[in-house]
Structure 1
């Protein structure tokens, strides 16, 4: 839609990416309250997208709506080259996905633009349980041997049990107790009978800790020394550095396990392979990879390592939820209500929060 045809009574929402597929009735109501402008694929390429913003091709839009994680990102990373081109009228960026490493949420906050992500919490947490179990029961060895030779089948059948363990009464350490981390803690405790420890930059409430049977650790390295399995569930490193590197791996309990469902770039995979070779870790499972879509060659050759293809959040229910939550966040903010799933609200000055919401 051309800005010249935009109703002055309706806030403009810039819809980047493919059309809504599942929540059609919700989108119909959404479209009644807001003027939806959807840039074409060619307009979403970075040079053209930046030129369009500079030229105010889409007017003074109030929100950005990206309902899918695999489309709408053609302009690349939202950084210091791109974000300053946004109009001052833009109040919220609602995007599908659990991660936000492709957007500088700190800079968005400086521009007084709220970033809201619709996390695939249930799907990722379920997948994390599979990966945790894979490290305790050597499921990569079991599944690949079943598809290999009869001797490989027999070798695994005979020898894997002595190296496998039940998760019950083992300690699970979770790095990052956000929405996903909380569900992992809940499911692992209730389903597997695991003891839960967690590290986060902000300690959770006593009530939440009690409900999850989770114990807080202010010292990450100290937590690592006591955990039988560690799950990385934080969306990003605050300072951009890797969270799991050679130095940090030295603090892991000998014979422990590591699971990554966060971001591949947060882990030094060569150092991880070294820790596995040395016996510091007995197993690992990664759904995300440092150099996607290419998994680490050394890790690929290890039978005690389970590798999957960044599919932890990949369910139909997740996609449906992405669409819906993105629209609900835009609707809430533009109607003067609090956002439902804010990522960078804590970065706003309190005066700005009061002014905006």
Structure 2
């Protein structure tokens, strides 16, 4: 294959940091173009696509979630400008709300994410939040840091009266994909929790049996049965927990979100917490990041972290590797490793 006939790969974001041998393989096979930060700003990026500045590229890879997204959402304004030669868009990150994957599918572009690389880290963070909302850990943490002996003693003496062991309680998982299933595995193995789940795509009988999971086909029914609801659905699911659905949860139950902030109405959560209906909440993601709902900041039964569920070095390395492996697989005529929208594409 001559250079002129090589596939072109558009590399969005920072240079490769970890999987350099894999990048060398990619660079030997294909022509890699890495637009500058200035070229990735939306106005400049759209202009470059309109003028075919980078030619008929066959693949896009975004190996780091923190860079390469400067052009904003891949929407109905941007996607139609992509060349017909484009086959695959492989990006870091488990979520994909920043790209219209349905629209990409209509143009026969596979979108691949990095969910499997972050499953372990995000599931660990979910377990942290599950422990916290059952055992009043935020109350204890805040009291220990207060420097006030009376506040310390109040938590020491009183928090155990509303704290519970997770064991034997019902965990309802919304979205039993790679991350959701790993959460279920850990909660089942570590605590012996009873797992129920809601997902449009059921797991196999063998997978369900491995974690004692029971699928509940109606989301309202599922949240009504759970002692703790954990959100592991993609951000594209839209608002999942509004005031009406929170009201369907058990009185005194708990809510954990390690997915996307737009899935939860934080004011509805605050209302429910203030009324005593919802006992505790654990949020790693927030509606208006980097801003956190100020009503929740003052609550000792609200565990709040700053969108770091996937924040382990192993995740970053895995995101980078998967972006390149997906590109290599598709351009060599194989199947993608982590497709998001393959089921939406027309079968030929």
Matched, 1:257 2:233: no
Q: Where do residues 226-305 of structure 1 align in structure 2 (5 Å cutoff)?
A: 226-238=225-237, 240=238, 242-305=239-302
1:225 corresponds in structure 2 to 224
Query: Does the 8 Å contact 1:67/1:95 carry over to 2?
Result: yes
Match of 1:143 in 2: 141
Q: Is the 8 A contact 1:237 1:243 kept in 2?
A: no
* Other structure's SS at 2:220 match: helix
Deviation at 1:197, TM superposition (A): 0.2
Report matched runs for 1:16-31 at 5 Å. Answer: 16-31=12-27
Distance 1:12 1:71 in 2: 20
**Which residue pairs with 2:190 in the alignment?**
191
For 1:341 and 1:38, locate their aligned partners in 2 and report how far apart those are by CA, in whole Å. Answer: 23
Match of 1:59 in 2: 55
SS in 2 for 1:42: coil
In structure 1, how many angstroms separate the alpha carbons of the residues matched to 2:236 and 2:42? 26
Q: Give yes or no for the alignment of 1:126 onto 2:137.
A: no
Where 1:202 maps in the other structure, the secondary structure is coil
Which residue among 67, 75, 81 is the counterpart of 1:79?
75
1:14-53 aligned within 5 A: 14-53=10-49
Distance 1:143 1:191 in 2: 23
Shift of 1:224: 1.2
Partner in structure 2 of residue 174 of structure 1: 173
Looking at structure 1, the residues matched to 107 and 31 of structure 2 have their Cα atoms a distance apart, in angstroms, of 22
The residue that corresponds to 1:12 in the other structure is 8
Question: Using the alignment, how far apart are the partners of 1:20 and 1:318 within structure 2?
Answer: 14
Deviating beyond 6 angstroms after TM superposition, the runs of 4 or more aligned structure 1 residues are: none
Deviations along 1:278-301, whole A, 9 cap, x unmatched? Answer: 222110000000010000011111
1:171-193 CA distance string (max 9 Å, x none): 00000000000000000000111
How big is the shift at 1:151? 1.1
**Residues 273 and 298 in structure 1, CA contact (< 8 A), matched pair in contact too:** yes
Query: How far did residue 250 of structure 1 move?
Result: 1.0
Cα displacement (A) at 1:237: 4.1
Q: Distance in 2 between matches of 1:251 and 1:206?
A: 28
What is the DSSP-based 3-state SS (H/G/I as helix, E as strand, rest coil) of the residue aligned with 2:281? strand
The answer for the alignment partner of 2:305 in structure 1 is 308
TM superposition score normalised by structure 1: 0.95
What is the match of residue 3 of structure 1? none
CA distance in 2, matches of 1:153, 1:170: 28
Partner residue in 1 for 2:338: 341
Post-superposition offset of 1:236: 2.6
**DSSP 3-state at the match of 1:248:** helix
* Secondary structure class of the residue paired with 2:208: helix
- For residue 339 of structure 1, report the CA deviation from its aligned partner: 0.5
Q: Distance in 1 between matches of 2:29 and 2:159?
A: 59
Q: Report if aligned partners of 2:241, 2:264 keep a CA contact under 8 Å in 1.
A: yes
Contact 2:16/2:320 (<8 A) preserved = yes
Give the TM-score normalised by structure 2.
Answer: 0.97
Alpha-carbon separation, structure 1, partners of 2:292 and 2:98: 20
* Cα distance in 2 for residues equivalent to 1:286 and 1:328: 32
Deviation at 1:201, TM superposition (A): 1.3
Q: Is the 8 A contact 2:95 2:235 kept in 1?
A: yes
Q: Which runs of 5+ in 1 are unaligned?
A: 1-5, 352-357
